[in-house]
Amino acid sequence: MQVFIYNGDIYCLRCGNTIRALLPSPSNPDDEASYDSDDYPKGPYPDGGGEADCPQHCGCGEACLNAIKLNDGRKVGAFLENPLTTDGECYVIEADDGEIASIWREHYFV
């Protein structure tokens, strides 16, 4: 999944584009070296932002435009489907058997 990096977090494509639309655009948004990701979202980048030690979800959390609605009514940010390190794979295997862990396992191991 493509993502944006902004203000120390990772956002799904839809939320990242929405954040970009709300902010003043840098003079050349295609030249990422000309601005900081704290000021304007950088990306989009492929692979959910890249390899990590755990599954990543959109930084907008329950306000994510692509939020996952859980059976208990809670919402979590979109699952970004990033690749995992070996530690990340262990994290998913050892995660509680909750609904989110099931989503992760289905993506990574099925």
Domain limits for position 11: 3-109
Q: What is the pTM of this model?
A: 0.93
pLDDT at 44 over 90: yes
Q: What SS3 string covers the chain?
A: CCEEEECCEEEEHHHHHHHHHHCCCCCCCCCHHHCCCCCCCEEEECHHHCCECCCCECCCHHHCCCCEECCCCCEECCECCCCECHHHHHHHHHCCCCHHHHHHHHHHHC
Tell me the average pLDDT of the chain. 97
pLDDT for the residue numbered 97: 80
pLDDT for the residue numbered 81: 98
Give the pLDDT confidence of 73-106 residue by residue, as tens digits.
999 999 999 999 999 999 999 999 899 999 999 9
pLDDT at 47 over 90: yes
pLDDT for the residue numbered 2: 98
Task: Tally the domains of the chain.
Answer: 1
